[in-house]
Structure 1
Amino acid sequence: MTQYEYSLDFARKMDQEDELSVFREMFFFPKVNGKEAIYFCGNSLGLQPKSVREYLEKDLESWADKAVDGHFDGDSPWFSVHKRSKSALSEIVGAKEHEVVVMNSLTSNLHALMVSFYRPAGKRVKIITEAGAFPSDMYMLESQVKVHGLDPDKTIIEIAPRSGEHTLRTEDIIETIEANKEELALVMMAGLQYYTGQVFDMKAITSAGHQAGAFVGFDLAHAAGNFPLQLHEWGMDFAAWCSYKYLNSGPGNVAGIFVHERHADSPELVRFAGWWGHNEQERFKMEKGFKPMYGADGWQASNGNVLGMAAHQASLDIFQEAGMHKLREKSLKLTGYLEFLIKKISGNSGVLEIITPENHNERGCQLSLLIHKGGKAVFDEFYQNGIVGDWRNPNVVRIAPTPLYNSFEDVFRFAKILEQSLKKFA
């Protein structure tokens, strides 16, 4: 275990020993008050890789030079653009290449997957999720339930932390699944809870859901590119994620899905079909009768967003070069250092409390700080001193040191600003 020290020399020594430090130079950093920011907001929007422009220009040139022929001509024709990312994505989320595909946006993908995997029938109609899920997931689940003529208040079961606690216990999730197994149709949760930063035990939840006879799916918006995933091994039926947070692919850019191999060749599964999910060998016959592609590709509807995928690929290639295993190793040290410094500085001041689990297996790089004194003024003080974090009502600051581009010196500088701020509000 690393023996941390609250000193600039220690932080710089850690950076000198960090073999991933070279990747920091591959990203643009924003400025606050004219100075380069300490950017801890990759959980909301990742930084832009400097290579994005080059990747985009290749497809822009193809569009300019070839126009429609770009779909089939050149080194990377657009007809198969969705295949470029499969190698990197399968490594990042721990899946087989035919289990993943880039398409659409996160919530639209969840809606599309719910069509296949939320099939309420008889008394099996209920959905289990976590209380305080990201609003888009709440709205998605509510509307899906209403589509089937059901009442969300009676159909959606929200599991909340125990009184006085901030995070969910795995045993409480499993107990809720067991208690509702006769009426349960779906378990649909975040993989990493956006507010608290808690990583749920996806393997255990999936196993319990399947034993109860339900489908299981996860929203991995805050987990993909952050926490080591093994989706195929864990066995959930489906998952979806965005690409603009830890995957650094640009605001609102294309998203991705996972569909487990057991569903890869199941044409009988109900789905909202489109021509890009149709058998590519027969796609241009323009005939009726949908024949889904094998695997996750069969959930595609429209042809891919070529320019969006180019920006996405720029980041994915960096991930492959760095390697998720090494990124996770650095992340544990980086967030561990952040935790050490926060506890050392805040002490018994009562100003803030870390609500993210201490167990490394239950968190990614994000720490969520519950502000007990000073409220948003504490966050505003951070920003005025060059810290870009994320405020979430009513009183949580999310700080996410990202291993691809953040340094130990970033964390140390944050600690000095935190120390200065606490003197104002303690």
Structure 2
Amino acid sequence: MTTNSTLKWEKLDEKFPCESRDEFHIPTYKSLGIPNIPEGKTETSSVNYLCGNSLGLMPKQTKIAINHELQAWAERGVESHFRHPKENGTPWVDIDLPLCPLMASIVGANTEEVAVLNSLTVNLNNMLVSFYKPTPMRYKILFEAGAFPSDCYVFINQCRNHGIDPEDGLIKLRPREGEYTLRTEDILETIEKNCECLALVCLPGIQYYTGQLFDIETITKAVHGYPGIVVGWDLAHAVGNSELKLHHWNVDFAVWCSYKYLNAGPGGIGGIFVHERYHTRGGNNNNNTYLTRQAGWWGNKKEERFLMKDTFDPIPGALGFRQSNPSVLDVVALRVSLEIFEKYGGITQLMKRSLLLTKFLFELLQESPFYYENVPIFEEKAAETGKILGFVVITPCKNDKDHGAQLSLLFLSKGLERPMETIFEIINQQGVIADERKPDVIRLAPAPLYNTFQDVYESVQILNNAMKNVTGY
């Protein structure tokens, strides 16, 4: 690649066009109410939306799909559960079933191993009811100290529900001193060290704060080297953002949300993966009972669901973990996005473009006069001068297998008070839609379904100008 960044984005967009961009509504300066429109833009120009890691953009077909279901409700009411008025419409009683093969292709699973239901944290709680089985000797949960708060709360309360003091029952993984991400070898060493007391290992596929992509395959294999330990994954930031092979990797269970890279809308419906070895009666126990779960009538065998029996006979597979009928509107919103993934080559093809976008973003950030390779280099520079501002990228970027779309920028300063918040406000009002994580991190995440290399280039230029304004030079 050339070093001329202006020409570079033009060539990249020509060579790797974003063919799916027109499938989405992209906010404009006018729609966001941004008064100071940058030179070369108009009020109808699209902003640079690099926030798919927080909320994906709305597909244009979403409103149409939802309106079809609202019309079905209007025309037939309850009858739409079994006789949908739209030609080729899915009766509501089966509304989630067409999503299973689409979702399976995203996470690398068999169709019977996935289901869409509930929300992320509800699903995590439900999976732990099934998979966290503490004994007097084996009761500890291994997770990361920097886990998203909801996950932390789940682990704490699961311990308490079993009469276990969380201080004793939880093992928290922390990066080495002076580092921001966890090393795989340190995770494996901790598993080995605690192999006799661990009941569960539950980690994120991608860490929400740093953007680190964990080596799911290696860690899962290591856990299964010790009989009696279950391994589960929170894929909130990994689903739709990395190529997953949950079945092949032998993962026990996984949970995820759909409102980030899967573009299903705020509060969109969640999903689960349960490996097929748990689908037969007794799961891995080879007895005559089904795997313990939070039960409900929608998980009961379909042919007996409306017989109103007082015995629970679950559907084999992940569908048997459903409790209630899903929200029709949430399901069809997710279906629209999953069909876009399929239309444009699936997750494998889209990840090729995603890695190119993020690589370009990292290259531009490295060219910034405010970029520092690490904190010690910044501190050395700060010791030589008075007021100074800079950032480091705490997301591991040397290997494509260590990150997804998101890069996390940690802002550092000397002689300036809380510069990140000021910088974030400036770039937001210049049309860069990102998100902040207090006290000092801004996350940028170009999504392959709707972001261009031009989006990335303009965002970094706006960021550099904002930092120049803050420093005054």
Tell me which residue corresponds to 1:177: 191
Q: Deviations over 1:358-393 (max 9, x none)?
A: 121010000000000223212222112111111001
407 and 125 in structure 1: CA distance in 2 versus 1, 3 angstrom threshold = same
Counterparts of 1:97-116 in structure 2 under 5 Å? 97-116=111-130
Q: Deviations over 1:64-95 (max 9, x none)?
A: 12211111113311111121111211111000
Shift of 1:425: 4.3
Could you tell which deviates more after superposition, 92-101 or 322-331? 322-331
Which amino acid counterpart does residue 366 of structure 2 have in structure 1? K
Partner Cα separation in structure 1 for residue 244 and residue 196 of structure 2: 30
Tell me which residue corresponds to 2:224: 210
Which amino acid counterpart does residue 290 of structure 2 have in structure 1? E
Tell me which residue corresponds to 1:63: 73
Partner Cα separation in structure 2 for residue 268 and residue 386 of structure 1: 53
Partner Cα separation in structure 2 for residue 417 and residue 80 of structure 1: 47
Determine which structure has greater relative contact order: mean sequence separation of CA pairs < 8 Å that are 6+ residues apart, divided by chain length: 1
Could you tell which deviates more after superposition, 208-217 or 249-258? 208-217
Partner Cα separation in structure 2 for residue 193 and residue 185 of structure 1: 22
- Does the CA contact (< 8 Å) of 2:55 and 2:263 recur in 1? yes
Shift of 1:18: 2.0
Partner Cα separation in structure 2 for residue 289 and residue 4 of structure 1: 68
Tell me which residue corresponds to 2:178: 164
Shift of 1:269: 1.3
Q: Which of 200, 217, 220 is the equivalent residue of 2:235?
A: 220
- Does the CA contact (< 8 Å) of 1:46 and 1:246 recur in 2? yes
The Cα RMSD (Å) is: 1.3
Partner Cα separation in structure 1 for residue 233 and residue 371 of structure 2: 36
- Does the CA contact (< 8 Å) of 1:351 and 1:425 recur in 2? no
- Does the CA contact (< 8 Å) of 2:49 and 2:433 recur in 1? yes
More helix by share: 1
Which amino acid counterpart does residue 412 of structure 2 have in structure 1? H
Q: Deviations over 1:33-82 (max 9, x none)?
A: 05432111111100000100111122112111221111111331111112
Q: Deviations over 1:218-254 (max 9, x none)?
A: 1000000001100001111100000100000000011
Partner Cα separation in structure 1 for residue 68 and residue 406 of structure 2: 35
Partner Cα separation in structure 1 for residue 3 and residue 246 of structure 2: 37
- Does the CA contact (< 8 Å) of 1:188 and 1:217 recur in 2? yes
Tell me which residue corresponds to 2:381: none
- Does the CA contact (< 8 Å) of 1:4 and 1:340 recur in 2? no
- Does the CA contact (< 8 Å) of 1:369 and 1:396 recur in 2? yes
Could you tell which deviates more after superposition, 367-376 or 94-103? 367-376
Which amino acid counterpart does residue 299 of structure 2 have in structure 1? G
Q: Does 1:381 align with 2:426?
A: yes
Which amino acid counterpart does residue 19 of structure 2 have in structure 1? V
Shift of 1:423: 2.0
**4+ runs of 1 displaced by more than 6 Å?**
none
Tell me which residue corresponds to 1:12: 10
Partner Cα separation in structure 1 for residue 196 and residue 179 of structure 2: 29
Counterparts of 1:8-407 in structure 2 under 5 Å? 8-19=6-17, 21-31=18-28, 32=32, 33=34, 35=43, 36-74=46-84, 75-213=89-227, 214-266=229-281, 267-322=289-344, 323-345=346-368, 346-348=370-372, 351-358=390-397, 359-373=399-413, 374-407=419-452
Shift of 1:22: 2.3
Tell me which residue corresponds to 2:466: 421
- Does the CA contact (< 8 Å) of 1:184 and 1:212 recur in 2? no
55 and 5 in structure 1: CA distance in 2 versus 1, 3 angstrom threshold = farther
- Does the CA contact (< 8 Å) of 2:371 and 2:391 recur in 1? no
Shift of 1:4: 5.0
TM-score, reference length from structure 1: 0.97
TM-score, reference length from structure 2: 0.87
Partner Cα separation in structure 1 for residue 260 and residue 3 of structure 2: 30
Q: Deviations over 1:163-195 (max 9, x none)?
A: 111100001001101111111100011110000
98 and 4 in structure 1: CA distance in 2 versus 1, 3 angstrom threshold = farther
Structure 2 residues not aligned, in runs of 5+: 36-42, 282-288, 373-377, 379-388, 414-418
Which amino acid counterpart does residue 7 of structure 1 have in structure 2? S
- Does the CA contact (< 8 Å) of 2:434 and 2:442 recur in 1? yes
Tell me which residue corresponds to 2:385: none
Q: What SS does the aligned partner of 1:231 have?
A: coil
Larger gyration radius, structure 1 or structure 2:
2
Partner Cα separation in structure 2 for residue 367 and residue 220 of structure 1: 17
Give me the identity figure in percent.
45
Which amino acid counterpart does residue 167 of structure 1 have in structure 2? T
